[in-house]
Structure 1
Amino acid sequence: MRARTPYKVFRVVALVVVVLALLAPLAWMVAASLKTNVDIYNPDKAVFFSPTWDNYAKVLQQANYVQFIVNSLWVAFAATALSLLLGVPAAYSMSRFSMGRSALVVLMARVIPAVSLLVPWYYVFSNLKMVGGFTVLILSHMFVSLPLIVYIMMGYFDGLPIELEESAMVDGLTPIGAFRRITLPLSTPGIATAGILSFIFSWNNFMFALVLSSAHTKTLPVAIFDFVGYASIDWGGLMAASTVVTLPIMLIALFAQKYVVSGLTAGATKG
């Protein structure tokens, strides 16, 4: 036990250092969002300062960020819902019928850098008069969300025993009925994991929205750039806008962490 004590101390110290390194930027962001630009540049006000809510008022009222929040929510929810609707049955088919080539295509879609497709996308969608609308944003997000969901759910379905479905079909259910009544309820943790990760990707995505959105479909990550000017940067407004973007993801991670952990440990990363 005495020999293990230094290792335990080192493990605790290392864990504390890692946590502090991860939380320090978030703490600085929140603190800077409550300061004026003068206080942000003042080292003496790094810790002790008079907080102000003017930056949040500027973000939520003057900069029309409520509309940008609605845009981000709509795009993220729509892309996630459509990806789940298509990806879960596709992953089940690939898992149960050993569709190795289709799985390879999905894996290749995960490997291809999405930035390499922006120029072809813009060319195609601009000719179709779709650039600037919500449809093109949702479709572009689905290009990454759909392979992610299929990749996660294939591993999860591989971890579920096929005997459960065979027993259900012996009792009179069709293959679709066995999937809907037996497999789908058992795969809820995996679906939650895939859906949460897909939503986080869509919410945080900057590159697609920067190129394919317009003024009325702008999402939050792109709208943050409004505080970056040619000659100066409004750091207070920028940090307040960044806090607004980060807060929903932190709440999702806080309240849905048990679903993510259970989904990952129950087989969502197998295969």
Structure 2
Amino acid sequence: MRIKWLPSLLFGVLTLLALLVFTFPFIWMLLASFKTQVQIFSTTQMFVFKPTLKNYIVVFQQNDYVRFLWNSFLVGLGSTVASLLLGLPAAYAIARYRLHAFATVALIAKIIPGITYLVPWYILFSKFHLIDTVTVLIISHMVIGLPLIMWIMIPFFEAFPMEVEESSWIDGSSKFRTFTSIVLPVSLPGIITSSLLAFIFSWNNFMFSLILSGEKTKTLPIAVFNFISASSINWGGLMAVACIIIMPVLIMAMLTQKYVVSGLAAGAVKG
């Protein structure tokens, strides 16, 4: 006699094991942020230990991490908004007029390693005295966000019925108004999904900020080096900073999870 509940049990066990494997590094990071240096390297205090807030106190009192946090947020928000302003009309034009060659160019720009841009960018932006400014970081991070937003939104706009737009034009609406008042609201799941992904990539970007930022515009991924020296690494402070870096995007992802899932699923089906 076949045991009907056995496949469900096996699926549940495998899912739990996979979840444990993927979440264990994050659990360890969170626990380590409340440990001393000795506790972190103690095998007997991996899960049972006396927690301390010293690492977070060091992060915010001895280092200007509020400013680093603000810089990361400002650059991430600015690059995402600028990418949306350029990427949404571009994706709509590509979808409606079948300009897939332009989409390929944008994809190539995304595929090319970022380090390829750094030398000419540094020389160019140095001439305009833009190094160590928020402007240069926003422009550089758009290389990541703009192609991403375009390629996610093109399938949404291609699947939108052309008849709806034509009806709106017959009623006297302009193409711009039709785009902003009809097409964009319907494509909201895709917009939220692409915006969140673009913001996350900008938030976590290390290479562009390392070369193009300075003391005034240092972002969180660069500020991590404050806990790394030639002789030692402050693992507790490092893990505390890592938690601070992850928490904002994790909260955003949880709040917009419904839209992200539906946006990715719809984009996959429409594409």
Q: Give the TM-score band, short-chain normalised.
A: over 0.9
Question: Structure 2: where are the runs of 5+ without partners?
Answer: none
Structure 1 contact 55–240 (Cα < 8 Å) conserved: yes
Q: 2:239 maps to which residue?
A: 239
Structure 2 contact 133–217 (Cα < 8 Å) conserved: yes
Aligned-partner Cα distance in 2 for 1:211–1:71: 15
Aligned-partner Cα distance in 1 for 2:141–2:163: 36
Aligned-partner Cα distance in 1 for 2:158–2:226: 46
Q: 2:221 maps to which residue?
A: 221
Aligned-partner Cα distance in 2 for 1:268–1:175: 27
Say if 1:269 and 1:192 are closer, same or farther in 2 by CA, change over 3 A.
farther
**TM-score in terms of structure 1 length:** 0.95
Residue type at the aligned position of 2:256: A
Local SS of the residue matching 2:139: helix
Q: 2:198 maps to which residue?
A: 198
Structure 1 contact 133–217 (Cα < 8 Å) conserved: yes
Counterpart check, 1:104 vs 2:104: yes
Residue type at the aligned position of 1:183: V
Aligned-partner Cα distance in 2 for 1:111–1:224: 27
Aligned-partner Cα distance in 1 for 2:267–2:134: 34
Aligned-partner Cα distance in 2 for 1:107–1:203: 21
Any residues of structure 2 matched to 1:6-85 within 5 Å, and which? Answer: 6-85=6-85
After superposition, the C-alpha distances for 1:60-113 in whole angstroms (9 at most, x for unaligned) are 111110010010010000000011011101100110111121122122122212
Structure 2 contact 227–234 (Cα < 8 Å) conserved: yes
Aligned-partner Cα distance in 1 for 2:16–2:120: 46
| RMSD of aligned Cα (Å) | 1.6
Counterpart check, 1:266 vs 2:245: no
Residue type at the aligned position of 1:77: L
Counterpart check, 1:166 vs 2:151: no
Report the alpha carbon displacement of residue 188 of structure 1 after superposing the two structures with TM.
1.0
Q: How many residues align?
A: 271
Report the alpha carbon displacement of residue 120 of structure 1 after superposing the two structures with TM.
2.0
Structure 1 contact 69–220 (Cα < 8 Å) conserved: yes
Report the alpha carbon displacement of residue 262 of structure 1 after superposing the two structures with TM.
1.4
Question: Structure 1: where are the runs of 5+ without partners?
Answer: none
Structure 1 contact 159–267 (Cα < 8 Å) conserved: no
Structure 1 contact 156–269 (Cα < 8 Å) conserved: no
Say if 1:29 and 1:48 are closer, same or farther in 2 by CA, change over 3 A.
same
**TM-score in terms of structure 2 length:** 0.95
After superposition, the C-alpha distances for 1:129-183 in whole angstroms (9 at most, x for unaligned) are 2111111111100011001111111111112111111121122212222112211
Aligned-partner Cα distance in 1 for 2:3–2:159: 39
Identity of aligned residues (%): 46
Structure 1 contact 152–269 (Cα < 8 Å) conserved: no
Aligned-partner Cα distance in 2 for 1:58–1:42: 22
Report the alpha carbon displacement of residue 3 of structure 1 after superposing the two structures with TM.
6.7
Aligned-partner Cα distance in 2 for 1:193–1:118: 28
Aligned-partner Cα distance in 2 for 1:269–1:24: 32
Aligned-partner Cα distance in 1 for 2:8–2:66: 47
Report the alpha carbon displacement of residue 55 of structure 1 after superposing the two structures with TM.
0.4
